[in-house]
Amino acid sequence: MVAAAIIATSLPLASITEAKTFRWASQGDVLTMDPHAQNEGLNNAISDHVYEPLLNRGKTMAIEPCLALSWTQINPTTTRFKLRDKVTFHDGTPFTADDVVFSITRAGEKTSNFGAYMQGIKEAKKVDNLTVDIITNGPAPTLLDQLTEIRVMSRAWATKYNVTRPQDFKNKEETFAARNANGTGAFILRAREPDVKTVLVANSNWWGKRDSNVTEVVYTPIKQDATRISALISGEIDLVLDPPVQDVGSLKANPALKVVEGNENRTIFLAMDQGRNELQYSNVKGKNPFKDVRVRQAMLLTVDINAIQKTVMRGLSLPTMSMIAPQVRGYSKDLEKRPAVDTAKAKKLMADAGYPNGFEVTLDCPNNRYINDERICTAIAGMLSKIDIKIKLNSMPRVTYFPKIQNIDSSFHLYGWGVPTFDSLYTLQSVIRTKTSGGDGEQNYSGYSNPKVDALIDQLKTEADLAKRATITREALLIHQADVGHIPLHHQIIPWAMRKNVTVVHRADNRVFAKWAMVN
């Protein structure tokens, strides 16, 4: 087993006193250990412990050197990266330019879910063992942002275990890289038991400086809210990533606990199938009501996001009309203007569209991914019933939900989108642009398509001027709003509940880093 060979390098760290185990939990499990198979928040958070990119984001979210020490733009389409010397993978293999070229190529494969991060990248070329050129198709203003999310694998390891292309997660492929890992990161994968636990141990050969006394990390998925919170209160768990919003007040009042919270750069929204000519999971035959903008407008006028904030989210959300959060470059406050709830007007729009008696449709919803996701969907169902859209709620765990949605097997679904690049292009290209190839429409599971929006997004890919980028973003989002391409609900507020003796860095990307954690 490769695990035995890798664990041999995870010896006790002589420089750390009072070594501690850090135990954290949330409602869902890691989907895969393959660093290029699933671009999903929790997945990336665990991958960040084991695998590393050329550049990463530090405690303040600023871009910092990681496996690349420095970078220089040689010409408008070539950026040269000097790599860190004397870095080894967990199995002892030296890290070189070959691994960078391999990993960037791998992230661009068809089975990868990281196409958005490959935006504009033509190829990576080895200059020497510690130098790589990344060549783009044109100017690439978000290249450095993108590279913070492309994690580096060992080419030799991937070849040895036949994982040179990413796991085809949406079609339920099983590969060696799905349950095993070999990165350069601060922690080494010791055990992976899906839906039970994932155990990491500190890498004594890590090149970096850790601000932590953690030598072991145990991540445990605990589906039931009450069980998860009981484990925290009893001391079985040190940190809960997603405490139920209804419990946050009592957790703050518990003298053994503390709650740290902040705004996440993630937007929760509804997506309607606008691609098919016949709505798949509906009683409407021969046509698709969601292709009629009047139906989508009626839904927008019926969904009460302020009521969701008050009754479902207990105040822990920022109701929105914008598909991008305030922390993201390109955000404009005037995009938050939303028409008031108007059921009478919505009913007239439904009648004008030919659906005076409404219709039936299935709403697909995860029940262990976003904060109060299933409760949000239940509330949505009640609201839409006021205009006679009868919802059949189909809730499921994330491990089932994501393959279903990624296979475009949905008529109507709840989705959430964070922005690790902190740039609006990431949302516009991934979620809103027409699906073609690469990162274009990679996460556009609704079939929304508008050529004018596509043209603006394509401009954004190469425009470097920040003022012009903001103007282009605003114009694209205004058209998308007029189309009711999606129905935004809110930006998440993320409370982390933890034992009083735990110190962590709370981040807008909702990622816990054990290399910055202290357990006293």
C-alpha to C-alpha distances, 66 to 63, 71, 144, 183, 409, nearest whole angstrom: 9, 11, 12, 13, 39
SS3 state at 425: helix
Tokens at residue 259, please? Answer: 């709650």
What is the C-alpha separation between 434 and 406, in angstroms, rounded?
Answer: 15
Phi, psi of 495 (to 5 degrees): -90, 135
What is the C-alpha separation between 131 and 79, in angstroms, rounded?
Answer: 11
- pTM (predicted TM-score): 0.93
Residues 196/79, Cβ–Cβ less than 8 Å: no
Beta bridge mates, 359: 389
CATH for 2-11+18-224+500-519 is 3.40.190.10
pLDDT tens for each residue of the chain, 520 residues long: 344 445 444 444 444 456 799 999 999 999 999 999 999 999 999 999 999 999 999 999 999 999 999 999 999 999 999 999 999 999 999 999 999 999 999 999 999 999 999 999 999 999 999 999 999 999 999 999 999 999 999 999 999 999 999 999 999 999 999 999 999 999 999 999 999 999 999 999 999 999 999 999 999 999 999 999 999 999 999 999 999 999 999 999 999 999 999 999 999 999 999 999 999 999 999 999 999 999 999 999 999 999 999 999 999 999 999 999 999 999 999 999 999 999 999 999 999 999 999 999 999 999 999 999 999 999 999 999 999 999 999 999 999 999 999 999 999 999 999 999 999 999 999 999 999 988 999 999 999 999 999 999 999 999 999 999 999 999 999 999 999 999 999 999 999 999 999 999 999 999 999 999 999 9
Check residue 17 and give its pLDDT.
52
Q: Given CA atoms 231, 234, 237, 238 in this order, what sign does their dihedral have? A: positive
- CATH architecture of the domain formed by 265-493: Roll (3.10)
Check residue 15 and give its pLDDT.
46
Check residue 437 and give its pLDDT.
87
List strand residue ranges (DSSP E) for 230-274, in order. Answer: 239-240, 257-272
What is the C-alpha separation between 98 and 237, in angstroms, rounded?
Answer: 40
C-alpha to C-alpha distances, 200 to 188, 304, 428, nearest whole angstrom: 5, 43, 35
Tokens at residue 93, please? Answer: 């293999």
Residues 288/278, Cβ–Cβ less than 8 Å: yes
Tokens at residue 202, please? Answer: 């500190």
C-alpha to C-alpha distances, 290 to 233, 298, 416, 466, nearest whole angstrom: 46, 11, 20, 35
Helix 466-483 × helix 451-460 angle, to 10°: 160
- Give the H or E element holding residue 350: helix 343-352
List strand residue ranges (DSSP E) for 59-186, in order. Answer: 63-65, 68-75, 78-83, 121-128, 131-136, 151-152
| Domain edges within the chain | 2-11+18-224+500-519, 265-493
What is the C-alpha separation between 406 and 197, in angstroms, rounded?
Answer: 25
